[in-house]
Amino acid sequence: MTSHESSRVAEIHRELHSHLPSESALRIKALESLLVEKGLLDSRAVDAWVEAYSEEIGPRRGARVVARAWADPDFKARLLADGTAAISELGFQGYALAHLKVVENTEAVHNLVVCTLCSCYPIGILGIPPTWYKMAEYRARAVREPRSVLTEFGVEIGDEVEVRIWDSTSELRYLVLPRRPAGAEAMDEAALASLVTRNCMIGAGQALSPGAGAGTGTGTGTGEHG
């Protein structure tokens, strides 16, 4: 086998294993299966909670926060000064929100959030973190080559724009306040919220343009998406 073939085999091996569930995920699935088998847990209840965190508790909550900031300059100022206090005005409190810092995208700065140690994430307003956010590839490359990662997510920014990386921890979580898209000046908060995607609140995406679609979609990018 030539060295080229050997490198290709190694690359394929890494690619295949990158899509395997983590050891902790496999343990959780085994525990869930055991509890269901013993009649102590209803799998439909688990699915309902997963759906709630994925689609209802977040990222719709985060979209409401962003829309309020776009529509209300005073709220935006409070949000950037103290994220936790500002989102509590909307009734959003709880797990992973005690220390929330909001960073704003501007014409000169684009922010990208990562957790290099694990997958710390503001679940209370963004829901369950996407698979790619937890993958080692994203956690490493977001720090080393953020512009390449952003390009793979379809985010094109000029060389003159500074890219800032924010590393989440168990004590401090981040939310990106994306730029309000052109043409959305006359939209109310409900309509504005429909332009906010989960990915743009991580920095791995941009807000949708009016008429381009609605919802809190996931977008695309490095690794497995969802």
**What's 59-201's CATH class?**
alpha beta
Question: Quick one: pLDDT at residue 44?
Answer: 82
Nearest to 63 by CA among 47, 87, 81: 87
154: enclosing H helix or E strand? none
Residue 214 reports pLDDT greater than 70: no
**pLDDT (tens digit per residue) in 189-213:** 999 999 999 999 999 999 999 987 5
The answer to whether 200 is a known catalytic residue is: no
Give Dmax (Cα) for the chain: 65
More confident residue, 139 or 26: 139
Question: Quick one: pLDDT at residue 211?
Answer: 81
Catalytic residue among 18, 33, 118, 170, which? Answer: 118
The answer to whether 119 is a known catalytic residue is: yes
Question: Quick one: pLDDT at residue 221?
Answer: 38
DSSP output for 57-116 = SSSHHHHHHHHHHHH-HHHHHHHHH-HHHHHHTTT--STT-SSEEEEE--SSEEEEEE-S
For Cα atoms 157, 160, 163, give the angle at the middle one, nearest 5 degrees.
Answer: 60
Catalytic residue among 54, 120, 168, 200, which? Answer: 120
* pTM of the predicted model as reported, rounded to 2 decimal places: 0.74
Domain-wise residue ranges, the chain: 23-56, 59-201
Task: Provide the pLDDT confidence category of residue 2 given band limits of 50, 70 and 90.
Answer: low
Task: Provide the pLDDT confidence category of residue 135 given band limits of 50, 70 and 90.
Answer: very high
